[in-house]
Amino acid sequence: MTPDEATCRWLVGHEGRVWLARAADMTGTSVQRASSLRRELTAERSAAVLAQLDLRERARAKFSAAERLFLLPTPLEQATDQLVAEYKARRFARYAPVADLCCGIGGDLMSLAAHGQVTGIDRSASAVLFAEANLQAMGRVAKVTAAEISPATLDCDAWHLDPDRRAAGHRTTHLEHCEPGPEMVEALLARCGQGAVKLAPATEVPKEWCALAEREWISRGGECKQQVVWLGDLAKCACKARATVLARPLETPFPQAVLASIVGEPGVSVPLASEIGRYVFEPDAAVLAADLAGYVATQHSLGAITPGVAYLSGDRAVNEGSLACFEVMEVMAYHAARLGAWLRERRVGRLEIKMRGVAENPVDVRKKLRVEGDEAATIILLPLGRSVTAVVGRRVERGQGRIA
């Protein structure tokens, strides 16, 4: 349950912080810790303390200083993670002031505040309380206000909007079901022409936006995290799609954190490879979401192994952060017994299993192979003709790209 505003205010105060520190040092089961807290706290406060510790643990994947932050369940799910927020904030660095609209608990706000003057606005008073506490925890300064979004009161050089994708009670990828929706974006643009809208990767945007905007898909650790629609002067490459790949570790410094950032025409068809070459490539999730696999394949003279399946092949290694590269060791029709024997003969026991377009489960495949050994390999299962083909390869270390 989400704590009420009074409980949130207590949590960020001195007494709440003391109890959070005490509870973090407690041992025992969650029931035992709850029982211990209930001896001195109300049910609401003891539940809020334990919930906050649980949220901090879950937030470690997004924030390196998660143990110092104040979090709410849904805003944490929607919050931009630290590395993505830092990457985005750099594009706003030449604008001041910046407005972070629907700022939530401050995922983007904390990074924007590190680069210049920014104001956060959210209609949730509890989220605003936590955003203020999080700014303080990170040693950053920004004004945060609890209010409805209104173009009439917008006073900034650029703005960032993170609309609620759960306004109807469930997650949506339809822009018209977000709150605020496309009409508000149009009104904001009329007031201030430099803006960015954070959306789910699969969200479609109005065609008239595509004619003016740069759409960027950002991934970290192999997962496409979000789509950003850059508008006005914030759009570096209007009418284009961009795929940006960020490093997995949250602490990676810039510019090393940007493994690749490519701009191109989406929807380019991928030519078919005549055969599986010396290398097989898997486009990053951001490349696939941006529909740039064909553009990348063309740039590097790669072909698709099978139609409609996002695995490419070629005879030269590609040192490009937008592609995972595997040197082919063996290609065979997939039969678990035969493949398992081949792997055991070579002492391959550390397996990475990938597949697309195949009615198999990686966990089940691993069980069927019954391998052991210290050598490592990647198995890629994909349809080829009427059967399933297994490609066994070694992962080639990914290089670093250049920001376009």
Report the candidate in 397, 388, 333 with the shortest Cα–Cα distance to residue 356.
388
Domain count, the chain: 3
For 367-399, how does the pLDDT look when each residue is reduced to its tens digit (9 = 90+)?
A: 999 999 999 999 999 999 889 999 999 999 864
For residues 116 and 252, membership in a common domain is answered with yes
Query: Does a structural domain hold residue 85?
Result: yes
For residues 290 and 244, membership in a common domain is answered with no
What are the two backbone dihedrals, phi and then psi, of residue 389, each rounded to the nearest 5 degrees?
Answer: -105, 140
What is the number of other CB atoms lying within 10 angstroms of the CB of residue 59?
21
Report the candidate in 295, 306, 242 with the shortest Cα–Cα distance to residue 269.
295
Provide the pLDDT for residue 145: 97
For 316-327, how does the pLDDT look when each residue is reduced to its tens digit (9 = 90+)?
A: 999 889 999 999
Query: Does a structural domain hold residue 303?
Result: yes
Query: Does a structural domain hold residue 107?
Result: yes
User: For residues 211 and 247, which has the higher predicted lDDT (pLDDT)?
Assistant: 247
Token pair of 399 as six digits: 């290089």
Q: What is the DSSP string of 103-131?
A: -TTSHHHHHHHTTS-EEEEES-HHHHHHH
Q: Please determine, for residue 401, whether its predicted confidence score (pLDDT) is greater than 70.
A: no
Chain-centroid distance of CA 279 in Å reads 28
**Order of strands across the sheet with 323-333?**
303-304, 312-314, 279-283, 323-333, 387-396, 375-384, 348-355
- Distance from C-alpha of 78 to C-alpha of 250, rounded to nearest angstrom: 17
Q: To which residue do tokens 């904030």 refer?
A: 89
> Which domain, by its residues, includes 302?
279-396
Are 391 and 382 within 8 A, CB to CB?
Answer: yes
For residues 250 and 303, membership in a common domain is answered with no
Q: Hey, which bits of 301-342 come out as E strands?
A: 303-304, 312-314, 323-333
Provide the pLDDT for residue 55: 98
pTM: 0.93
For residues 165 and 222, membership in a common domain is answered with yes
For residues 48 and 99, membership in a common domain is answered with no
Query: Does a structural domain hold residue 65?
Result: no
Q: Please determine, for residue 167, whether its predicted confidence score (pLDDT) is greater than 70.
A: no
Are 232 and 160 within 8 A, CB to CB?
Answer: no
Residues in the chain: 404
For 216-250, how does the pLDDT look when each residue is reduced to its tens digit (9 = 90+)?
A: 999 999 999 999 999 999 999 999 999 999 999 99
Identify the CATH number of the domain in which residue 156 sits: 3.40.50.150
